Chain A
């Protein structure tokens, strides 16, 4: 469904990712792991059209998205749950969900999907009239996911959904992501929490300093030395591995 072919992208003239090749098949849950600054977020922003690729091609269902505007990409069925959640603090929970459905016109269907989101996250229903800014971190993450789902995406991009959340909330969020995937939405998940990400994804990519350092089915990837040492916390500290990767 999603193909990144030799994508180089970044900010200004400085590339943050170089010649990246990623493939996300229909219905899959693919994760992209790596340390801070490896280029994970840049990859997602480039797919969403918020950052322009310097070169390479991004294709979704065979259609070239590389130079498409962000709003057309959303209309094409790709939604992003951004890093740091970015719910609209000054709007109610309900309005945040409604803005998620901005690209859709069918009122009754939107109302249906709103009910579905509330069923998935009963906490959001309880707090639907509250300002999004008054929600806890976990609730905001649920809202950010709910907002993205309101666009009815074929492909859902998630950027660090576990960031800053308590372990039991992280568990809940990951269960939800798994469920969304089972219900047919293709997922590309970016995470620093490699253990969690590898546990729900079927395929993984390891990003190091803007390049793909390793990839493979998750069971396989989990057992490679680089991943075990650097990202699953069983070997040396991340810093020393990065040093090794440099040399």
Chain B
């Protein structure tokens, strides 16, 4: 076996051993934690790319990896196909960018705790990558809890209301993960298997789709992942948790955690269960699409009403979850393709937005919108990356946001669900108003000092207003621009990416 064949496991093992190593290194010298983390994330991203190439080259678009050589129904297997290869690669890339970005902010915000921070940071990446890779239902629960536990601790490291909002998140997150576990239990009662493909096979062979146990199990799993992804009626934990978390935490958790839950939902709907089962039970799918429409509209409106940049972005995450859930539940191939493509596009643009917001906070020490005034003169490069990500969020052509929205809107028209089309267009318009207002502030506004001569207190905080250009350090600019240029690249190569995704979508029988 060559090293390339081990790639699916290596994606996970690099950050896992990196986490353990970081803790040990940190005891000796804390300044070495950052290079160790970046190295582990870079190696993981490389392994993820190698896996994507293998999946693309294989004839049936599938790479499986058996843990310790045990045969699947008994052993645990990693299963990478055209659906999750892209998602896993997006997660690995975003974590690499955030890891590079985090150098100065982590020293600033969690001084003296860098080694703990980076250990948890990498464990969060391990959990999320594991959810993306595994083909075992119970193994997925374990990874879900690894990622959740690390994110609880990372969020609680923030300031202000962080601990309070983290507690609410723990409550909701535990209910979500427990519901998922219960759902898996119901499936296990009926099928006696935990391997996703095996569960699907047994359910088809024995025609178990009509039993109420399977129905209840599906509902439990669905509600569990909805809580985890902050889908509309269950979204209340997200905005506060992501707003008060440290900069690097929210930049890591916001792009990858909700997106991976959406991946889990799609995996259960289309690989474990059957579209005929999911959509064949009366009006349920229509209800979900309407909930998604409400999520888009409500998320966008709340974002418009907020005065804090990070809070706005957190509400936009909720709106974006609505796009993807709606796309997946429209019950046609175009919608599914759009939803999967939007997972990647949205992960990257959320990362770009949170990274540039983090850089602005690093310099201005404020998330207030008024702190953005005149920022194009102060931090032209940061604002350039922010503007590019904003254009993608609105959906303007050269960026990938346009292509995913195009697919979602065509799917809505194809399905004849004009409520979804209207909601998506409306939400895009609200996004346009929101971001152009921010860009107007930044371009035409006069520089205000939010901490105007706070006297001794201001100085004690180390905040000094510099005249002229005051750009973020290179370790922030590079990942920020990589993410923003990645959006344009993903836009240019959208044809190839969608052709790749189609290899999964084509196998789904609607």
A and B interact: no
Chain A residues proximal to chain B, CB less than 8 Å: none
